[in-house]
Chain A
């Protein structure tokens, strides 16, 4: 089983990320789907796609639930078996997991998996409130703890325990903004300095504006098939060789540690074991940098460095585009943007581009094995996927 493809990506699509004025989530999803159809001329989507799994976090934004059928409708896929998955910011990471299991079940040969979120038409207090729904209501939200607040609690603990600095957090932001500047689909294409990041206004101390990901509109999708069918559709498929998924307590306060995410560590262990690869064999990774501290903790949870050394890893430039292990080449949630439901499969989209030499200015040379890490809420859900160039 080790390293055996579970399912194969034969195409992928991503809408432009940003403030997409006048475009609804379903219309952004149609943009992503159209790109995926055009990338894969050997596939007849109407005849061959049998199911759609779509991640979507909040019906509050657009007053629209029932996203499986809605997205299928706008992507021209009615009457496929369509369903929505919801796991906060990991909604489409979980959708990807469900799609892989559906392929492995033997029932489907070809499925589409993706995600969408339309957020920017709402006010910041409204978005703050909607996002907070991913956390525990009776003990966290009820006591005024915001989403950035939860990650700030982790940052304070990490700084206290390991000596991680605000400068090291800022390094994550500077790196991801640089990468975003090379990605035409990123929400922000602006290079920033360490000083810009450190001087930005405080959101939840020690997290500042530039420590936080963006409120973004966007959609993403992949077309995945049984591995033995992949070559029918493309010369270079990307095989998914590891998949992990775990959960943790909804309240951060019930956990033993505030400096690592148990669900992410478990999901990583499952994915590495399934793939038969070690963290040192990963060539490129997209990790869930909803806040800068989250990327530092992700390095540690994924085994890219020892616990407590994440700050130094980024400070030393090892995760830059020209570093030993480039992380968030897309710009990450920080600069590419974080339309929450779309994020999990948008990460997979970037890995797909990297492993098929289509990442243009941000291409990592000789990338063979990639990883994506998608976290829901303050870590109550995590998925990790490992990919190999076919």
Chain B
């Protein structure tokens, strides 16, 4: 575990590239943050460490996007949702491999990591959700 790497969004996505979903834990008060922030938003400490999360959870809410931004037009319509991970933290993302009529609040989803990288900023990989 690269405990000393900086607690940045850039680093979060470097972990995603390696197939790891990482949060940041405050060693002072115990608050776990997703996304990572450089200062604990509870107690303001900067004594932090990375904490790996299980890449699965339950769908809390969802939508199917029909009118997409330019970059996502080839995907439309596509489902997106917010997933409550097993650790209680929440993460939004695209849901793949699902028929829209099967989408429902509470459904179990897991993360699929996509290590491919874009050629210009932001050079971040993506992750997706899919039914278990």
Interface residues in chain A, defined as those with a beta carbon under 8 Å from any beta carbon in chain B: 124-126, 128-129, 132, 138-146, 148-149, 152-157, 160, 201-207, 251-254, 258
Closest to A258 in B: B61
Asked whether B92 lies within 8 Å of A251 as measured between CB atoms, the reply is: yes
**When A and B form their complex, what is the total count of cross-chain residue pairs whose Cβ atoms lie within 8 Å?**
100
Asked whether B66 lies within 8 Å of A157 as measured between CB atoms, the reply is: no
Task: Using known A-B contacts A156-B105, A258-B82, determine if residue A149 contacts B63 with beta carbons closer than 8 Å.
Answer: yes
Give the residues in chain A near B75, CB-CB below 8 Å.
144
Closest to A138 in B: B9
Give the residues in chain A near B67, CB-CB below 8 Å.
124, 128, 146, 148, 203-204
B70 close to chain A: CB less than 8 A: yes
Asked whether B94 lies within 8 Å of A253 as measured between CB atoms, the reply is: no
Give the residues in chain B near A253, CB-CB below 8 Å.
82, 90-92
Interface residues in chain B, defined as those with a beta carbon under 8 Å from any beta carbon in chain A: 9, 13, 34-35, 60-73, 75, 77-78, 80-82, 90-94, 100, 105, 122, 124, 126
Asked whether A157 lies within 8 Å of B92 as measured between CB atoms, the reply is: no
Q: What CA separation (Å) do A128 and B75 show in the bound complex?
A: 16
Closest to A203 in B: B67
Closest to B67 in A: A203
Least Cβ–Cβ distance between B15 and chain A, in angstroms: 13
Extra pairs beyond A144-B65, A258-B61 (7, CB < 8 Å):
A139-B92, A144-B75, A146-B69, A149-B65, A156-B105, A205-B66, A258-B82
| 6 A–B contacts, CB within 8 A, in A order | A138-B9, A138-B122, A146-B65, A155-B63, A156-B105, A205-B64
Least Cβ–Cβ distance between B80 and chain A, in angstroms: 5
Q: What CA separation (Å) do A153 and B65 show in the bound complex?
A: 10
Least Cβ–Cβ distance between B90 and chain A, in angstroms: 5
Q: Pick the contact of B80: A124, A143, A157, A251 (CB < 8 A).
A: A143
Closest to B90 in A: A253
User: 5 closest pairs, A vs B, by CB?
Assistant: A152-B63, A157-B61, A144-B72, A205-B64, A253-B92
Closest to B124 in A: A142
Q: What CA separation (Å) do A156 and B92 show in the bound complex?
A: 14
Asked whether A125 lies within 8 Å of B64 as measured between CB atoms, the reply is: no
Asked whether B82 lies within 8 Å of A138 as measured between CB atoms, the reply is: no
Asked whether A144 lies within 8 Å of B124 as measured between CB atoms, the reply is: no
Asked whether A204 lies within 8 Å of B91 as measured between CB atoms, the reply is: no
Interface centre among B66, B81, B91, B122 (most CB of A within 10 A): B66
Asked whether B82 lies within 8 Å of A129 as measured between CB atoms, the reply is: no
Task: Using known A-B contacts A160-B105, A205-B64, determine if residue A149 contacts B80 with beta carbons closer than 8 Å.
Answer: yes
Least Cβ–Cβ distance between A157 and chain B, in angstroms: 4
Task: Using known A-B contacts A138-B122, A145-B80, A156-B63, determine if residue A132 contacts B91 with beta carbons closer than 8 Å.
Answer: no
Least Cβ–Cβ distance between A296 and chain B, in angstroms: 15
Task: Using known A-B contacts A153-B81, A253-B82, determine if residue A142 contacts B105 with beta carbons closer than 8 Å.
Answer: no
Task: Using known A-B contacts A140-B92, A143-B94, A253-B82, determine if residue A129 contacts B70 with beta carbons closer than 8 Å.
Answer: yes
Least Cβ–Cβ distance between A208 and chain B, in angstroms: 9
Least Cβ–Cβ distance between B93 and chain A, in angstroms: 5
Asked whether B81 lies within 8 Å of A142 as measured between CB atoms, the reply is: no
Least Cβ–Cβ distance between B35 and chain A, in angstroms: 6
Closest to B81 in A: A153
Q: What CA separation (Å) do A251 and B122 show in the bound complex?
A: 18
Least Cβ–Cβ distance between B43 and chain A, in angstroms: 17
Give the residues in chain B near A145, CB-CB below 8 Å.
65, 80, 92
Q: What CA separation (Å) do A324 and B118 show in the bound complex?
A: 55
Asked whether B70 lies within 8 Å of A125 as measured between CB atoms, the reply is: yes
Closest to B10 in A: A138
Asked whether A201 lies within 8 Å of B65 as measured between CB atoms, the reply is: no
Asked whether B124 lies within 8 Å of A138 as measured between CB atoms, the reply is: yes
Give the residues in chain A near B68, CB-CB below 8 Å.
128, 144, 146
Give the residues in chain B near A206, CB-CB below 8 Å.
63
Give the residues in chain B near A204, CB-CB below 8 Å.
63-67
Task: Using known A-B contacts A138-B122, A251-B35, A253-B90, determine if residue A153 contacts B69 with beta carbons closer than 8 Å.
Answer: no
Give the residues in chain B near A156, CB-CB below 8 Å.
61-63, 105
Closest to B129 in A: A143
Task: Using known A-B contacts A252-B82, A254-B90, determine if residue A153 contacts B63 with beta carbons closer than 8 Å.
Answer: yes
Q: What CA separation (Å) do A139 and B75 show in the bound complex?
A: 18
Asked whether A138 lies within 8 Å of B60 as measured between CB atoms, the reply is: no
